[in-house]
Amino acid sequence: MFPWRPPAALAAWLGGAGGRGGLLGLLGRQCRFVTGLRVRRAQQIAQLYGRLYSESARRVLLGRLWRRLRGRPGQASALMSALAGVFVWDDERIQEAELRRSIDEMKQLEAMSSVFQSPGVGHHPSEPKPQVEGNEESGAKEQPWEMVVDKKQFKLWRRPIAGSHLYQYRVFGTYTDVTPRQFFNVQLDTEYRKKWDALVIKLDVIERDVISGSEVLHWVTHFPYPMYSRDYVYVRRYSVDQENNVMVLVSRAVEHPSVPESPEFVRVRSYESQMVIRPHKSFDENGFDYLLTYSDNPQTVFPRYCVSWMVSSGMPDFLEKLHTATLKAKNMEIKVKDYISAKSLEMGSEAKTNSPSSERKNEGSCGPARIEYA
């Protein structure tokens, strides 16, 4: 059986012999014309509001519009293209409570640190059940942690995420040959990571919040063949509490209008990571324990056990690469930005130069700035 083909006259009428006179060409030009009008109108509206409102009020207004129209096709897509670049930090910045929650989880598990430092200890409880602040309000019953890897200096657990086929993972480990400051700085240095992590295709800071120090990053990473590469848009923030001798780094996925989804990659929209570091002595002496809690949805069609195997094997591999990169930075004196010292100087200068203003109040505040990062 041969495929049906329209008569030559009908094909010419639909497509147009000259490429411009056919019905399809006419419809295409009409669509482009209407879209162009709407984009220009949106730009004119944005300029009008730019003259009427302050920068902070304009960002709040456009942010509300972004949340309302986000995900809608057609007119919304054209309008948001015209208003690209609007990101509402008041809704997306990582709050102090998120940092404190991660530190509290570390405190609840610190008794396990003696396991790593005691010779001859073979096993420890396989189902730690730390109570996470805020879970009581949700009423959701927490699943028990299941041991996946049990080594002297590296423990990995997982537990099911309610309502999904995915797991949340938790790593508790220790290093004795690098300092907490070196390990922390290597994690934060995006330029250095492009050199030591061969899976990175792109890793750039998109925007920074001057109030909290949070940053939005766009990260594109290779996935095993034949899967598409994945890309993440996420906000991150760190805090260094020198009085309590602890460091914390929190990241989670967000949407940013200046980083639209690309057909070349698969966008990962569900991602969370919290790392807490507890020095054995000080930030500049070798030795520390760390707690890493992690979950994401890589958007694969593989069954649950396959995804679990990839994460369970990939996470230790990544941590070891991070450790090796830290050793190289230490032994070969590779220049890595000292985020802790830089943030201290930055926050100190901001405290001297920034005075309260009506516009600053409109932007909102999350309290006094600390030594924090995105």
Q: Which pLDDT value is given to residue 9?
A: 47
Amino acid making up residue 45: I
End-to-end CA separation in angstroms for the chain? 62
Residue 242 backbone phi and psi in degrees, to 5: -75, -30
Q: What is the torsional sign of CA 243, 245, 251, 256?
A: positive
How far apart are the C-alpha atoms of 153 and 218, rounded to whole Å? 32
Contact between 229 and 201 under an 8 Å Cβ cutoff? The reply is yes
pTM of the model: 0.66
How far apart are the C-alpha atoms of 310 and 307, rounded to whole Å? 5
Contact between 246 and 276 under an 8 Å Cβ cutoff? The reply is yes
Beta bridge partners of 233: 218
Beta bridge partners of 316: none
- Give the pLDDT of the chain (374 residues) as one tens digit per residue: 444 444 544 445 445 544 455 566 666 666 666 666 665 666 666 566 555 555 556 566 666 665 565 555 444 544 554 454 568 888 899 999 999 999 888 888 776 555 444 443 333 344 444 443 444 444 456 788 888 888 888 899 999 988 888 889 999 999 999 999 999 999 999 999 999 999 999 999 999 999 999 999 999 999 888 889 999 999 999 999 888 899 999 999 999 989 999 999 999 999 999 999 999 999 999 999 999 999 988 887 666 667 666 666 778 888 999 999 999 988 776 777 777 765 554 545 544 444 444 333 333 333 333 333 33
CA 261 to mean position of chain CA atoms: 15
How far apart are the C-alpha atoms of 188 and 173, rounded to whole Å? 19
Tell me the C-alpha to C-alpha distance, in Å, between residue 188 and each of 18, 75, 236.
57, 39, 10
Alpha-carbon dihedral angle through residues 350, 356, 360, 362, given to the nearest 10 degrees: 150
Q: Where are the alpha helices (DSSP H) in the chain?
A: 8-15, 23-52, 55-69, 75-82, 89-92, 96-109, 113-117, 135-138, 180-188, 190-196, 304-331, 339-353, 358-363
